[in-house]
Structure 1
Amino acid sequence: MASTTQTTPATTEVVQLHATTHFSIKLTPTNFPVWRRQVHSTLIGLNLHGYVDGSVQEPPKFSGSAQTATNPDYLHWVRQDQVIVSALLESCSDSIRPLASSASTAYDAWQRLATTYASASQSRARILSLKIELTQNPRGTRSISSPVSDEDLVVYILTQLGDEYHSIFSAVCVRQKPICLAELADVLIDHERQLQADDRARQTVLATANITPTTAPLRSFSEYNGPDQIRLGDGNSLHISHIGHATIPTPSSALSLENVLHAPQLHKSLVSVSQLCKANRVSVELFASHLVVNDGVEHVGLMDSLHRSE
């Protein structure tokens, strides 16, 4: 009977995977069944499921009787396996990513996620959800003198937090051991410091590329399939869908914007002052409430942002 274990890849081509296009549903502590179905279907469709279920095993590193030449099947397996690991990591929410980040293979990463969240998403989450419902009627049948448990206080605190603390709530839901008030306080303080640091990073970030959230301003554009992404000041990355050309009209001429990146996840368009000046031989003066674009040769004003409605 033929073995079901596959050690040699069926193709020498490495299939590229990106979470933004292949795994659009990010894994959270409460949606593992849906996320697993998404990953399973995609990997089966691309003939890559064996890397996570263990049926495609690591080939020998060396080939030949002397065992000195690197086995090409091994090199292919490593490359394809790490592409899958990267996509799995990218498809995890921030609170889950550390769990899989130390996994050496796709199979290892998959086992860690499945072991942790297949059942955990139904246990602690269910208990806490019931307690949250009780916060709508906190007294119930208890007498006024009944003591309030630490877990009841933890639930009350968590339900008063904003959306920016959702990752903390998710992490508490999957814990098998209840979190105490002192530990929760430390976690919330650390998270608040991180939020403040992220805000400072967003406020100080400078655009080093021309970026738009839609293709509407682009006069011409083409689809982008490369590996590059847009790195934000807070450490996150945005997927680039297209690259094109745009112009900014002025009373005397049009300013050209080359290599404009289309990033659908962006909320506002960004213009690189450096690229604008180099492409059009202009200079930009920045004021407290507006900016002025000057001709670099005749030193006359071409555009004042105070007089623009966009």
Structure 2
Amino acid sequence: MIMALISSFTTDEKKSNYSQKFSFYLTPTNYGYWRKMIHSFLLEHKLFDYMADTIPGAPKQLPHVVATTADPKPEPRDNPNYSIWITSDAHILMLIISTLYESAFRHVQGDTSYDMWSSLECAFALHSYSREYTLKTQLLRTKMKGDETPNAYLNRA
């Protein structure tokens, strides 16, 4: 079985701080905007396949090859895609993390960019039970400030 090599980030891409391109952070109220911006950025840089799990985690080693007379007991081989996949996925994780407020970070689960994307989707997407719970909890905790008008309070709520 021949595996295609995953392309690695260039040195310039690794050194650049993509988060400086974003002047916003994910909050409980701007998920749709945040998702659209991050999604577009990842598509533009050909990185969304990691988030969509189209490029799933590469195994550390490739399976055994068929034994031959020259090599009667083949050993597993190191996968050349493994280190590229790990560093690329970590780069995407850092990009996403750099756009999260601490309050949004508590919803992050998993170890891969796909896991993180999925957990944020579950927490903030419009039609999820987790999102409904988060919004209800925030609403119940919303209190009117001493100098706040009723209209300002209702708008904030």
Q: TM-score range by the shorter chain?
A: 0.5 to 0.7
Structure-1 separation of matches of 2:4 and 2:57: 6
Return closer, same or farther for 1:161/1:30 CA change in 2, 3 Å cut-off. farther
Q: What do residues 121-157 of structure 1 show as CA deviations (whole Å, max 9, x unaligned)?
A: 7x837x94xxxxxxxxxxxxxxxxxxxxxx5xx43xx
Give 5+ residue unaligned stretches, structure 2: 66-74, 148-156
Partner of 1:50: 49
Return closer, same or farther for 1:40/1:7 CA change in 2, 3 Å cut-off. farther
Partner of 2:144: 159
Q: Does 1:61 align with 2:57?
A: no
Return closer, same or farther for 1:19/1:57 CA change in 2, 3 Å cut-off. same
Structure-1 separation of matches of 2:146 and 2:50: 40
- Structure having greater relative contact order (Cα 8 Å, sep ≥ 6): 2
Give the deviation of 1:86 after TM superposition.
Answer: 1.3
Partner of 2:135: 124
Structure 1 residue corresponding to 2:86, chosen from 55, 78, 82:
78
The AA in structure 2 aligned to 1:115 is C
Partner of 1:90: 98
- Alignment check: 8 A CA contact 2:58 2:85 kept: yes
The answer to which structure has the higher strand fraction is 1
Partner of 1:26: 25
TM-score normalised over the length of structure 2: 0.68
Partner of 1:243: none
Q: Does 1:109 align with 2:111?
A: no
Give the deviation of 1:8 after TM superposition.
Answer: 4.4
Structure-1 separation of matches of 2:93 and 2:146: 33
TM-score normalised over the length of structure 1: 0.36
- Alignment check: 8 A CA contact 1:27 1:35 kept: yes
Task: Provide the aligned length of Structure 1 versus Structure 2.
Answer: 128
Give the deviation of 1:25 after TM superposition.
Answer: 1.7
RMSD: 3.1
- Alignment check: 8 A CA contact 1:62 1:70 kept: yes
Partner of 2:9: 13
Give 5+ residue unaligned stretches, structure 1: 1-5, 129-150, 163-172, 174-310
- Alignment check: 8 A CA contact 1:27 1:93 kept: yes
The AA in structure 2 aligned to 1:105 is T
- Alignment check: 8 A CA contact 2:107 2:119 kept: yes
Return closer, same or farther for 1:12/1:29 CA change in 2, 3 Å cut-off. same
Structure-1 separation of matches of 2:4 and 2:50: 10
Structure-2 separation of matches of 1:111 and 1:7: 26
Structure-1 separation of matches of 2:93 and 2:38: 12
The answer to which structure has the higher helix fraction is 2
Structure-2 separation of matches of 1:87 and 1:31: 18
Return closer, same or farther for 1:29/1:35 CA change in 2, 3 Å cut-off. same
Seq. identity, %? 24
- Alignment check: 8 A CA contact 2:52 2:114 kept: yes
Partner of 1:210: none
Give the deviation of 1:99 after TM superposition.
Answer: 2.2
Structure-1 separation of matches of 2:17 and 2:93: 10
- Alignment check: 8 A CA contact 1:28 1:96 kept: yes
